[in-house]
Chains A and B, each alone.
Chain A
Amino acid sequence: MVKLNDIDLTIVGGGPAGLFLAKEAKKKGLKIVMFDREERLGGILKQCIHTGFGVEIYKKDLTGPELIEELMDEVLNLDIPYYTKSMCIGFEGDKLYFYSPKGVIEVSSKYFVFSLGARERARGSIFIEGSRPSGVFTAGFAQYITNILGLKIGEKVAILGSGDIGLIMARRLTLEGMEVIGIFEIMPYYGGLPRNIRQCIEDFEIPLYLSHTVVKIEGEERLEKIYVSQVDENLKSVGSIKEFKVDTLLLSVGLIPEIDILRKNLLIDNKTLGPIVNQYFLTNIPNTFVIGNSLIIFDLVDKAMKSSLVVLDYILKERKKAEKVKLIQGNLIRNFIPQILEKSGEKTKIYFRVKEPIFDKEVILREDKKVISNKKFKALYPAEMREIDIDTNLIDRNEIVIEVV
């Protein structure tokens, strides 16, 4: 058994958030070690060969592989030790264990950070009537098959859900010679970023059907046909059913923070489906942080990376026990982090998402009727994660509401 002792910070998951935190922590002189379950570090960005990454941090519009190599160069220069093909199997006492082809690895560390990314909602979590053939895949699965393996996932493809992965896959499959017959979105508005609607869908004249969903799947061994229905404002089927002959249906119906390895002991927020954390992304498990998409689904990778630095704020400063304040979901807010604020006397950020597109409104943080922080927004889209600052010195009570007014 490989035993690693006297580590300051153990980072589980070497995607962009984990890599970014690793290099920043190392620069601050912390003794760190990093683990990833895959053969190569980089997480999901390895398969995201489109641009749009690193704009905030590197001031360049990079592709996923490019951003990962930029990060990896720094990690290698800093001599950060890492283990790949290492699957975390959880804590036993205060030690963390991994299985790897080198053997079982046991880690003793002052702090642990989990940046495990997200998993995609699969067919079971949305329920579609009909048969269960091959050919119904998640969009991220298709992205790996297409971009990394260079294989065709099908010939005639429909996409359910207009999230970014779905939009981006629509363009990728079109460029690689497959026919995308349409994108179906149950909501009356699209789920992805506006620029992806423009450059992935409109450029290629791929039809986007808003307020439409797939109601039935047909085909015994491979998908043969889908049935699509329009939905009303209650998302119930209305009107006639259209049939589309396709061999592939990609699901782009949302991501869920991947944190099951800690699930037994972790307090989970039923809005983000990730852990409940304070402003330093510290969970209820002692000395254990969760960052990146395993905390909350971020809209931009730069935000997932940069936000993780609060972990270092916590670790590098002497902390006194501070009073805890609960953040409560108010009008039109879908979810947010942190869910708990410690009255540390510092300024901090609240990250939030709204439930529906909203224009020219204000987002406030208030205790009872007293507004502690407010920010005006010209437009807020459900796909975007936005921020509002708060000064913890201004908090008197133990509950704060976040809402749109």
Chain B
Amino acid sequence: MEKNFDVVVGGGGIVGASIFRELSRYELNLLLVEKEEDIASFGSTIANTGIIHGGYDPIPNSLKAILNREGKKLWIELTQKLNIDSEFNGVLVLAKESDEEKILYELYERGVKNNVEVKILNKEEIKKIEPNLKETYSLGLFSSDAGTIDPFIATINLVRSGFENQGKVLFDTEILEVIREKERVILITNSGEIKTKIFVNACGFFGKKFLKDENLIFPRRGEYLITDKNLKGLISRPIFGVPSEKGKGISITPTPHGNILLGPTSHIVENYDLNSYIKERNEILEKVNSFIDFDFVPYIIRDFAGVRASSKTKDFIIGFEDTSNVLHVQGIDSPGLTAAPAIGKYVSSLIKKRITLKEKKNFKETLEPKINLKKLSKEEIDMLIQKEPSFGEIVCRCEFVSKGEILEELKTFPYPKNIDGLKRRLRVTSGRCQGSFCTIRILKILNEELKVPFEEIKKKGKEGRVIYGEIE
């Protein structure tokens, strides 16, 4: 492995992936470094509501306000170019009493100042677009060009695109120390030294230790519940209450795949705590039941939690250190996902001030779409199966994923490293049975087709095996 790069991006979450892909436009020796075995496998990116926010919430003229607005526009293009599942049906914020109405009007004002599309809806107008909600609201704020995306596929396909444009990626590589030298940075990692002209610190919460004042970043925990797809159609867009000092609050969000996400809670914590708690589950259910009179419990298939890195500055921290070539991208909490592509552009504009960036002539804007049975007609599927019968063999009954799609995915960079990696790419094991049907079939495919010994197949991470060995 070569050791000298022009730019090294640390962190394979949505932010690092966006920067990586953006920088792959230029003739650079570019590297993305991820401490885990896979990208989008840990951190805020995988515990994300997936909302592309309207941009009415951030304080005017803040980085959050600007990058939210620009990021939203970029996503509308990117989801097309990079085949990212998305739905742009708007976002609705509900206000109840007069106090809340006041906050809603403030939000509206902020939206106007932030130069984004916002509209006040009255009760009848809300009822028309969301007939299943409890009619306790009096007023709503509608942000029509907001939406939702699949944050896993977004991250994976951004990295895929960066890779196809000659960017390099290192997994299982944790940056332990950053040594600042004149016009270059040396990264000490668990697998040796990497030298680079510029280091972009998009390491999420784990990158705060490279800041001069790491106390600027504090962890905020959020827990989610997710339902099966049987509730598709209950609501058509993310529903929020008015925001508070704790953030945008708990929402009900239909994902582009037809599940409903409930959450997140928001609690400042001491430790990086990813556990689930009954208390928080109840907090979520109580809040969503204030929006809609519906018993979600029988439909919940999974709970999960994430920790996001919030900044005491209340804004993103993006910029070079005065005296070194370390560029920090820190404190990227909400609306981080929305802002990510704009962060990529902003970071490359900052880098341009330090080194020459020359655009590649042959930059590939789009990704070749992969075969997805859900997007094909019966006739197309039949023709496909005649050519390759493995597309007719359904492995995941909940999400309708075929063996053929799994085999294709296993051959495509960035390769899935474990069953959860396949899940984030193809949604296998993520349905209502939570893998009790398809995990067996996936184990068999990996063992029979790829000759991976059963005991080496991991569900999660590097140690999370499924099988302990042969029964005699």
Number of A-B contacts (CB under 8 A): 144
Within 109-149 of A, Cβ neighbours of B (below 8 Å) are at 119-120, 122-125, 127-135, 137-138, 140-141, 144-146, 149
A87 in the interface (beta carbon within 8 A): yes
Within 359-400 of B, Cβ neighbours of A (below 8 Å) are at 373, 378-379, 381-382, 385-386, 389-390, 392-394, 397-398, 400
A101 in the interface (beta carbon within 8 A): yes
Q: Is the CB of B230 within 8 A of A145?
A: no
B129 in the interface (beta carbon within 8 A): no
B72 in the interface (beta carbon within 8 A): no
A376 in the interface (beta carbon within 8 A): no
Selected interface stretch from B81-89, B176-184, B296-304: B296-304
A102 in the interface (beta carbon within 8 A): yes
Q: Is the CB of B390 within 8 A of A101?
A: yes
Chain B hits for A221, CB < 8 A: 458-464
The chain B residue with its CB closest to the CB of A222 is: B464
Q: Is the CB of B436 within 8 A of A99?
A: no
Within 243-284 of B, Cβ neighbours of A (below 8 Å) are at 274-278, 281
CB distance from B394 to the nearest CB of A (A): 4
Q: Is the CB of A146 within 8 A of B436?
A: no
CB distance from A245 to the nearest CB of B (A): 15
A375 in the interface (beta carbon within 8 A): no
The chain A residue with its CB closest to the CB of B466 is: A134
Chain A hits for B138, CB < 8 A: none
Q: Is the CB of A151 within 8 A of B434?
A: no
A348 in the interface (beta carbon within 8 A): no
Q: A89 CA to B396 CA in the complex, in Å?
A: 12
Proximity string of chain A (141-168) to chain B, C-beta cutoff 8 Å, 1 when within and 0 when not = 1001110011111110000000000000
CB distance from B47 to the nearest CB of A (A): 11
Q: A356 CA to B439 CA in the complex, in Å?
A: 35
A263 in the interface (beta carbon within 8 A): yes
Chain A hits for B459, CB < 8 A: 134, 221
Q: A133 CA to B373 CA in the complex, in Å?
A: 30
Chain A hits for B452, CB < 8 A: none
Chain A hits for B300, CB < 8 A: 124-125, 127
Q: Is the CB of A263 within 8 A of B230?
A: yes
Q: Is the CB of B275 within 8 A of A130?
A: yes
Chain B hits for A122, CB < 8 A: 301, 433-436
Residue among A123, A129, A146, A177 with most chain B CB within 10 A: A129
Q: Is the CB of A119 within 8 A of B471?
A: no
Q: Is the CB of A152 within 8 A of B385?
A: no
Q: Is the CB of A87 within 8 A of B436?
A: no
A326 in the interface (beta carbon within 8 A): no
Q: Give the interface size bracket for B toward A.
A: 35 or more
Q: Is the CB of B471 within 8 A of A124?
A: no
Q: Is the CB of B402 within 8 A of A151?
A: no
Chain A hits for B382, CB < 8 A: 1, 103-104
B294 in the interface (beta carbon within 8 A): no
Q: Is the CB of B385 within 8 A of A102?
A: yes
Q: Is the CB of B467 within 8 A of A145?
A: yes
Chain A hits for B458, CB < 8 A: 134, 221
Q: Is the CB of A144 within 8 A of B392?
A: no
Q: Is the CB of A141 within 8 A of B230?
A: no
A260 in the interface (beta carbon within 8 A): yes
A100 in the interface (beta carbon within 8 A): yes
Known: A1-B379, A103-B385, A103-B392. A144 touches B471 (CB 8 A): no
Q: Out of A87, A102, A151, A247, name the residue touching B454 (CB < 8 Å).
A: A151
Q: Out of A99, A129, A130, name the residue touching B381 (CB < 8 Å).
A: A99
The chain B residue with its CB closest to the CB of A148 is: B440
Q: A247 CA to B458 CA in the complex, in Å?
A: 14
Q: Is the CB of A260 within 8 A of B230?
A: yes
Q: Out of A89, A137, A152, A222, name the residue touching B463 (CB < 8 Å).
A: A222
A85 in the interface (beta carbon within 8 A): yes
Q: A125 CA to B434 CA in the complex, in Å?
A: 10
Chain B hits for A391, CB < 8 A: none
Q: Is the CB of A146 within 8 A of B471?
A: yes
Q: Is the CB of A141 within 8 A of B439?
A: yes
The chain A residue with its CB closest to the CB of B273 is: A131
A37 in the interface (beta carbon within 8 A): yes
Known: A102-B389, A119-B433, A124-B226. 17 other contacts (CB 8 A): A85-B393, A104-B381, A104-B382, A119-B437, A122-B301, A122-B434, A124-B434, A134-B459, A141-B436, A151-B454, A151-B468, A151-B471, A152-B467, A152-B468, A152-B470, A220-B463, A247-B468
Q: Can you list 27 A-B contacts (CB < 8 A)?
A: A1-B379, A37-B397, A85-B393, A87-B394, A97-B378, A101-B389, A102-B389, A104-B392, A119-B432, A119-B436, A122-B434, A122-B435, A124-B226, A124-B300, A124-B301, A125-B300, A125-B301, A131-B276, A145-B467, A149-B454, A150-B470, A151-B468, A153-B466, A154-B468, A176-B471, A222-B463, A222-B465
A residues with a Cβ closer than 8 A to B are 1, 37, 85, 87, 89, 97, 99-104, 119-120, 122-125, 127-135, 137-138, 140-141, 144-146, 149-155, 176-177, 220-222, 247, 260, 263
8 closest cross-chain pairs (CB), A and B: A221-B464, A134-B459, A101-B389, A134-B464, A87-B394, A221-B461, A122-B434, A152-B468
